[in-house]
A = this chain, B = another copy of it.
Amino acid sequence: MELLVRYLERRSSASSVMTQDIIKEENLRDDLRYYFMSPCEKYRTRRQKPWKLGVQILKIVMITTQLILFGLNNQLVVSYKEENTMALKNIFLKDFRGVDEDDYSVAVYTQHGVYESLFHVLDQYSQLGRLSTGPITYAEDEDGKLLPLIVCKQHYKRGIVQPSDEAYDMDAQLETVCLSHDPKTANLQRTHNSSFFDLDFYRLVDITITFQLKGINLQTVRSRELPDCYLFHVTITFDNQCHSGKVKIFLDTDAQSSTCRDWKISGTAQKNTHYLLIFDGFVILVCLTSAVLCTRSIVLAVRLLQRFSRFFRENYNRKVCEDDQSEFLNGWYVLVIVSDLLAIIGTILKMEIQAKSLTSYDVCSIFLGTSTLMVWVGVIRYLGYFQKYNVLILTMKAAFPKVLRFCCCAGMIYLGYTFCGWIVLGPYHEKVTDKLVRGEQRNWRP
């Protein structure tokens, strides 16, 4: 940097002889000076319009708009899945209070309660058509036969447990027994298979009820998109593996979306998707332009560096030091190019999703989100062109490693403290404080 600065400032001092060499040197000096200018200065000296700046500003607006549109769409899908899960929980779980406790949905503490919850699932499943308000039915296989509901119970192979004698005789291997029900008559099976439903709680590890439901997300019709078809794998688990007298009931749904097989839609849908496609195409164009412009700037910078170092080698027989070389490689350009590439990939994925040939919302949102983050962080660079902001940014840059180093030291102590606290206080925390509080209260009454 030193060398570079000194070189740039030593301007045409006592150069009365205008030889070829001096002209070349002047040229190089001008180019260098121009290279390190901000867009405003460039405009003032050579009247070059700040195309790159304009493209960046346009890009920020477009990418943010696109992200918001995609996000709102995405939210529809996510809320559909969540509301569906909530509806299934309300239908299938007895005494469900509307919110999950800790990580499970319902806890049952008595044998009677377990049986009731279990049969409630079967009853509700058999009359699902009359219950649910949503367009959801039993799934069929390829032949049009209804897929069955499967109840599995997992228990220790053999086990005699006599807590009063402090004695047990167990085979620790797990055995799984399953029963498959036809959906419509699921509620009758419990009388036919009463031996299966005679649970031996000492050996029982868990009961799993699995079934598949199909649904259609008709909501998207209103936002003028084609409805998706969904396949819900529902798993209801009665978890007794802790054998603590508390049976936790979980309900998990795994929703797979796919294009519907056979559809016909009339009315106003699928009209404004064209505009969206055009908009997406325009975003790709802007990102490509931005990427090309930045690549060009990097190439120019590398060439300038080569010219500069050749000149130095020839005239002064000195090498340009590494610090000066790194000045030529602008990190911001790299950031912009990476963000552009991510945006282009994300946009292509988005178009595929809109065309219903892909359903990977997650991957697409990672691409679009990361590129938007980078684009906004990139704005700081343009703030740096203002004198007053520049001071601030340089200060922050200088302070950053010190802050990081402090965090590192504090982190070590924190890590040790965390491990220690987790093991020493953690699991007993509630109990200890409880005891202390109760104890104090009793002692304080003299």
Contact = CB atoms under 8 A, between A and B. Distances in A.
Nearest to A172: B267
Interface in A254-276: 258, 260-269, 272
A446 B269 CA distance: 12
A167 B412 contact: no
A137 B165 CA distance: 10
A87 B67 contact: no
B87 A244 contact: yes
Considering residues A71, A78, A419, which has the most beta carbons from chain B within 10 angstroms of its beta carbon? A419
Interface stretch (A190-198, A308-316, A366-374): A366-374
Given A168-B260, A215-B245, A396-B409, 5 more contacts: A67-B423, A79-B244, A170-B264, A219-B244, A389-B409
Interface stretch (A103-111, A278-286, A288-296): A103-111
- Shortest beta-carbon contacts, A-B, top 6: A376-B416, A134-B245, A87-B245, A172-B267, A83-B244, A373-B420
Interface of A: 64, 67-72, 74-76, 78-80, 82-84, 86-88, 90-91, 98, 101, 103, 107-112, 114, 130-140, 146, 156-158, 161-173, 201-202, 205, 213-219, 221-224, 227, 229, 240-247, 258, 260-269, 272, 362, 365-366, 368-370, 372-377, 379-380, 383, 388-389, 392-393, 396, 401-402, 405-406, 408-409, 412-413, 415-417, 419-424, 426-428, 430-431, 434, 437-438, 441, 444-446
Nearest to A215: B163
Contacts of A369: 419-424
Contact of A245 (B101, B133, B266, B268): B133
A267 B133 contact: no
A239 to B, nearest CB: 10
Contact of A372 (B133, B261, B419): B419
B365 A388 contact: no
Contacts of A406: 392
B423 A372 contact: yes
Contacts of A146: 164
Nearest to A346: B423
Contacts of A223: 445-446
A245 B419 contact: no
B240 A423 contact: no
B169 A133 contact: no
A372 B416 contact: yes
Contacts of A108: 133
Given A67-B419, A161-B135, A217 B243 contact: yes
B264 A242 contact: no
A114 B135 contact: no
Contact of A219 (B70, B76, B201, B241): B241
Nearest to A379: B412
Given A217-B243, A222-B241, A392 B377 contact: no
A265 B172 contact: yes
Contacts of A437: 103
Contacts of A420: 369-370, 372-373
A203 to B, nearest CB: 9
A384 to B, nearest CB: 9
B419 A161 contact: no
Contacts of A370: 420, 424
Contacts of A446: 69, 72, 223-224, 272
B245 A219 contact: no
A409 B424 contact: no
Nearest to A424: B369
A267 B157 contact: yes
A422 B261 contact: no
B246 A218 contact: no
